[in-house]
Structures are given as structure tokens and as C-alpha cells.
Amino acid sequence: MMTEDYIVHATAANASLRAFAIRSNQLTETARNKHRTSPVATAALGRLLSAGAMMGAMMKGENDVLTLQIKGDGPIGGLTVTADSRGHVKGYVQNPAVDLPLNPWGKLDVGGAVGSGTLSVIRDLGLKEPYTGVCELISGEIGDDLAYYFNVSEQTPSAVGLGVLVGKALNVEQAGGFIIQVMPDAPEDVVSALEHRLKAVTSITALMAEGRAPEDILSILLGDMDMTVTQKTDVRFHCDCSKTKMAKALIVVGAKELGAMIDEGKPVEVKCHFCNTTHTFSVEELKALKVKALSHINIID
């Protein structure tokens, strides 16, 4: 299926800047439908999905996986997004029904919904241990928090703009964003020119509301800095869960717990957090898994 969602990769100022921009209308709407998110939860999840998709696209390996995790003390509880380098992204919020009044600027109060807490960035590059970076949330607005993370934890000065526009029917009208990163060899005048440009752009959502494409948004920000689009990646909400994977997870839970489920005498429903799909296991299937769990233990022992 063709998607209207995509990521643009670009460089500018003699490759001393690298930039990514995304249109994520469809994938955010898909997430909203799967999780039945309230407007503020749609905005929060859409922003994190957009950032995750772009950061996924920054990775080089086919099987690299990126996870963004926000844990806050606000009513939304937390958010998790996972993306790969091939344009697949998925995510969920802990409390999708969270409802808050608009903030003093008349916008959906994502910062209020998230509260204070931490942002974790986990990159699984197929090495023994995944690489994990953690930093404090500075506003809970997600874009600011990611910029702070890049600056502090990865020593890469970055500008991050993320926006989701929710319509009257609670649907996603526009979603997207950009990440612009300053490479270590960037000349001072390039950095100040970029800062100047960023100050002039008041809101990413305002640009998106005008229906601007990702490359147009980058042109507005980097147009006079010799910007070159280097790649485009189609992106979509995609969960790779399956009954087989859930069965493996149940085997890991262990024979004892499976035995308790079998004794209940009822089918067991296992829900995937990421896409809200329910996978059902009959008592007969649970019995077969218990046999596997027992032999699994024998193999490990």
C-alpha cells in the first residue's frame, strides 16, 4: 500500500547540518483508532511516534531497533514508541483516555498530561547490550525534551519540532515534525544562521496546518543553506506481534503459571500493548504450551 506518510532526509551547509522531516498523518490516525486516544493523548503519542520514526530512520542497520520511553508523573502515565530503520513505527500510551483542559495558549496540554519524569532512548543495534540514554524531562512537551536529550546525552546540538493537529471530530488532521542536527565541524556562522531561522518559525503545527510537505518545511528552515534531499522513506504504523510470538512469551512465563491458567479452565486473552490486538489461547493450546515450557526448562538445565 502506498502511504502519504514519509520521512525526508537532507543535508545542508556542506553537510555540517543534517535534517529529517516527517509527515505522519496516517500513522497517527491509525494509532488513534487502535488505542482510542483522547485529543491530548493523540497529540502526545503522535509527537513521540513522529520523533521515533525519524530517529529510527537515522539508524543504519536493517535490524536496528529504537525505543523511546517516557515515564512521567502526569495523568497520561507514560508513553512507549518503537521504530526500525525501514519506516515501521508503533507505540502506545499508558492512559489513552486522559482528558485535560487546554493550556493557557489554547493548545492541547501535552506537557501537563506527561508531567515531570524521564525520557529513555534505547537503541538495539544487534550488539550484546542495547545502548540506553536517559535524561530528565524538561517540559513534557516531547519536542523540547528530545532536543535536550540530543544536546546533553549525545552531545549533538539539535532542534526538534513536533506537532499534531486534532480536528473537531477528534481525528488527526495533520501530524509531523522535524529534527535538525549540527555536526561537530559546523562553522559558527552556520549555527547562528540556523538559530535565527528557528526563531522566525513560530510553530511547526502552523506550517503543517497550511498543508506543507516535509521537504517544504525543511526548505523554510534550511532553504538558503544549500539544502539537498538525500533520501525519502515511506513510513507507517506497523506492529509485528503474532500469536506465535505471544505463545513464545507464554512459554517463557513458565509451566507453573501456565498450569494455573489451565486450572482456571477458560481461554486466556493476551493483549499486545503496541497495537491493542487480543490473541486468544484455548485451554488445549495452553496445555500444549505447558508441555513446551517443561521441555524448555530441561534444555536450559
How many Å separate Cα 59 from the centre of its chain? 14
Can you tell me which residue has the cell 532553504? 223
239 touches Zn ion (CB under 5 A): yes
Q: How far is CA 41 from CA 95, 121, 272, in A?
A: 8, 20, 18
Residues 6+ apart with CB under 8 A from 99: 38, 40
Q: How many CA atoms lie within 13 A of 156 on its CB side?
A: 17
**Spatial contact of 119 and 138, defined as CB atoms under 8 Å apart:** no
Contact between 97 and 77 (Cβ < 8 Å): no
Check residue 237 for interaction with Zn ion (CB under 5 A).
no
Render 40-62 in DSSP notation, one character per residue: HHHHHHHHHHHHHHHHHHH--ST
Alpha-carbon gap, residue 21 to 44, rounded angstroms: 18
The verdict on 81 binding Zn ion (CB under 5 A) reads no
**With CB under 5 A as the contact rule, which of the stretches 204-212, 216-224, 231-239, 278-286 interacts with Zn ion?**
231-239
**Nearest approach, Cβ of 275 to Zn ion (angstroms)?**
3
Answer yes or no: are the C-beta atoms of 281 and 250 closer than 8 Å: yes
The footprint of Zn ion on residues 268-287 (CB under 5 A) is: 272, 274-275, 277
241 is a site residue for Zn ion (CB under 5 A): yes
Give least dist CB 277 to Zn ion, A.
5
Give dist(CA 57, CA 150) in Å, integer.
Answer: 16
Nearer of residues 154 and 269 to Zn ion, judged by Cβ? 269
Choice between 193 and 241, CB closer to Zn ion: 241
> Nearer Cβ to Zn ion, position 191 or 241?
241
CB nearer to Zn ion: pick between 206 and 252: 252
Identity of the residue, 21 or 275, whose beta carbon is nearer to Zn ion in the bound complex: 275
Minimal distance, residue 271 CB to Zn ion, in Å: 9
Grid coordinates of 149: 536529550
If the CB atoms of residues 68 and 239 are measured against Zn ion, the closer one turns out to be 239
Q: How far is the CB of 92 from Zn ion (least distance, A)?
A: 9
Q: How many residues bind Zn ion (CB under 5 A)?
A: 6
- Min dist. Cβ of residue 68 to Zn ion (A): 17
| Contact status: 8 vs Zn ion (CB under 5 A) | no
The CA distance from 175 to 241, in Å, is: 25
Q: How far is the CB of 88 from Zn ion (least distance, A)?
A: 12
What residues make contact with Zn ion under the rule CB under 5 A?
239, 241, 272, 274-275, 277
